[in-house]
Structure 1
């Protein structure tokens, strides 16, 4: 092995074995969380310490258009892409020996590019570290396996199972239901093992062909990287078996939406103790302050947790989706749920993020709101008991309203970064404007001859 491969994580070295690495994919997540970058022969990668991409990649919308540049609109200066070899992992679906390596975006003076989502998350982590804290997160990934959909005008349908019947809804936790597409699940496990990614569990969710994949708790940046990698490997596993995997928040009308619930706790960096639990396991002021920060600032953060017009179709009462910022113990109708746990494992589950959000930004927004609460020390509202679906006016109902709420939360913008907000706002306003120019089938069906 050459020297650079000696620096790789154990799983990547095991994957290579005695073989020669053919190609390295140098990747970075854009605003949407789409993998962008360059692929190059491994010998070339070994000889260089970085490469360059224009900063305009962060202004590309989900449709491929370009948002207005709030900075230098003409020159598109290059960013320096610096590899993080700790993220090196296999691309096991390729025909040759290929590795993926996540890169960090730096400007030409060596400073982190402030609107790179991974850098935004790193900035929030540093705020915690400066206070002597270490945040811990555990994301849950929900997604649908669907039949191939090659015509966007046609509704998305459930996939065909091994029985020859379409996957059925309302089969949550059914092992038989998940066995229907067991070959896809097998490939997900195999790809994850080759990539050194740990799966805490896989289960059938409530929708037809809907799966939940849980990740073990750990470092926020590492977990965001893993969600980023998992989205790609799950899509590849599905394509091997003639179906699609989608992470849309609401791909099928009448079915539940797909969330990325984020469990969060904070430990004291020196003692390793959970700051949400005091003597004899009692809940601490920090615990309530963290909840209060989320209640006070998540309205502004919804634009990051629900980043597309489709995202707001998920916020529907009685579909196991939150429509409020209430908190409750073991209450799945509240936006903020406190799961059953030991005092050492006490955590807050943010149920608002959709699976369509950028994992770096979803985790960054969650931690940013909690951090503001820890600094502001305002405490939380009283615990909500019973069904919180009666209280549904606390979160924006459209992307436009969410972007307005983000713009109004100056404290949230300050810690996420003003430059990041300018770029994110520009991209999302552009996407929203594009959506409003599209005439939907509903409009043609009900308005064409009736109004």
Structure 2
């Protein structure tokens, strides 16, 4: 049964989407889904057509494409048939597209096979699968992401170095100005549009701060349901890019866009609640740390090395893991210690949580959350005990985060327990797609090689 073509379906939209359209005529609906890199794929359709359709089709090959658009050989035994998937809208995700010239909504869709089975390598389905494993045990996972990104000068030539944007003062953004309100003021017009767009889309920003890099900002989101928060990060990347373009600059979510500057992370805060009582499983009745809390940390320590390929998905991602440069190089855990890969922030018992500082902002948020939650889940289910709490500067320790994408993929491909949680078909497709992408990169000769090897070796 299709939607009411008289447009009464808009009466059931989320409140912010209804408020955005109040007194206006909806022109278009963007039907979108995240591919594996995190790019929005889909179709834009007239609102009248969307009102009459329950689903639309896209070929499953969108999940076999690398970030460059190359097709990987991940189609499986049947071959590259580009079979149509059935994409159904999740109307709870209906959101304004306030930067468009007409009145447009965006709606995130879920991918199904013809028999109604969720497509196992669709990133949103992967995260739903992991959340479902928690729920089957009576647990409710909660996440809170921190999004770091750079505002940069327009870069039209990939051969040119990336430079910080020019602020209101007319000077390029300066580095080493973490938490500076003056630095935030430099980007005031862009930030104003980010707030306005977020308000129109119904997203609650917990705060915006200047980070340590030149033109680097951080946006924190309120904690909540992992799928909902991944949807918001997915939307936010587009929102921030659109706000930047209005002011003649770019927003980039590369893990390491500028040499000698800090990289951009997507720190993920985790807690787990009892579904019946709503109590934080990381604290007992007396407020003390529980075995579940320790086991979650143990799961991150044991399994994150194998999951880094999902949280640091590109060759550039590994340039972020630099000793003494605001990103972890190992998976020690510490209390309020930002040198460790796993941090326990200051908090009361009700908000006790674990922060994963490994994930980069370049990762697909659905897959970044899924990987982190999968590691914690394995720790809780298998009772994994973490190493002793780390005291001091973890940068003085030995690295245990993979140093290059090829090494990370080797670990991922051997991670049988992780594949079982994430889904084996997803693991197969992801591995093939990322190997294809990595091999593409290895065919590129860099300026460093030409400068230092051309006449010297």
Determine which of 331, 345, 354 is the counterpart of 1:339.
345
Q: 2:448 aligned with 1:445, yes or no?
A: no
| Structure 1 residue 378, shift from structure 2 partner | 2.1
**Are 1:188 and 1:237, in contact at CA under 8 Å, matched by a contact in 2?**
yes
| Structure 1 residue 70, shift from structure 2 partner | 4.0
Q: 2:64 aligned with 1:53, yes or no?
A: no
Query: How many angstroms apart in 2 are the aligned matches of 1:366 and 1:421?
Result: 15
**Are 2:175 and 2:215, in contact at CA under 8 Å, matched by a contact in 1?**
yes
Secondary structure of the corresponding residue to residue 281 of structure 1: coil
**Are 2:32 and 2:108, in contact at CA under 8 Å, matched by a contact in 1?**
yes
Q: 2:17 aligned with 1:6, yes or no?
A: no
**Are 1:290 and 1:371, in contact at CA under 8 Å, matched by a contact in 2?**
yes
Determine which of 291, 296, 303 is the counterpart of 2:302.
296
Give the aligned partner of residue 67 of structure 1.
72
Determine which of 278, 293, 299 is the counterpart of 1:272.
278
**TM-score using structure 2 length:** 0.98
Secondary structure of the corresponding residue to residue 191 of structure 1: helix
Give the aligned partner of residue 119 of structure 1.
125
Give the aligned partner of residue 41 of structure 2.
36
| Structure 1 residue 157, shift from structure 2 partner | 0.2
Give the aligned partner of residue 348 of structure 1.
354
Determine which of 314, 324, 327 is the counterpart of 2:333.
327
Runs of 4+ in 1 over 6 A off after TM superposition: none
Give the aligned partner of residue 156 of structure 1.
162
**TM-score using structure 1 length:** 0.99
Give the aligned partner of residue 369 of structure 1.
375
Q: 2:262 aligned with 1:256, yes or no?
A: yes
- Range moving further from structure 2, 275-284 or 113-122: 275-284
Q: 2:82 aligned with 1:76, yes or no?
A: yes
Q: Indicate the RMSD between aligned Cα atoms, in angstroms.
A: 0.7
1:111-147: per-residue Cα shift (whole Å, max 9, x none)? Answer: 1000000000000001000000000000000000000
**Are 1:198 and 1:216, in contact at CA under 8 Å, matched by a contact in 2?**
yes
Give the aligned partner of residue 206 of structure 2.
200
Q: 2:298 aligned with 1:286, yes or no?
A: no
Give the aligned partner of residue 26 of structure 2.
21
| Structure 1 residue 73, shift from structure 2 partner | 2.0
Structure 2, unpaired ranges of 5+:
1-5
Query: How many angstroms apart in 2 are the aligned matches of 1:378 and 1:239?
Result: 47
Query: How many angstroms apart in 1 are the aligned matches of 2:427 and 2:8?
Result: 40
Give the aligned partner of residue 223 of structure 2.
217
1:64-107: per-residue Cα shift (whole Å, max 9, x none)? Answer: 11111241323211100000000000000001000000000000
Give the aligned partner of residue 422 of structure 2.
416
**Are 2:95 and 2:106, in contact at CA under 8 Å, matched by a contact in 1?**
yes
Query: How many angstroms apart in 2 are the aligned matches of 1:279 and 1:46?
Result: 50
**Are 1:70 and 1:426, in contact at CA under 8 Å, matched by a contact in 2?**
no
Structure 1, unpaired ranges of 5+:
none
**Counterparts of 1:123-142 in structure 2 under 5 Å?**
123-142=129-148
| Structure 1 residue 2, shift from structure 2 partner | 2.2
Query: How many angstroms apart in 2 are the aligned matches of 1:21 and 1:391?
Result: 57
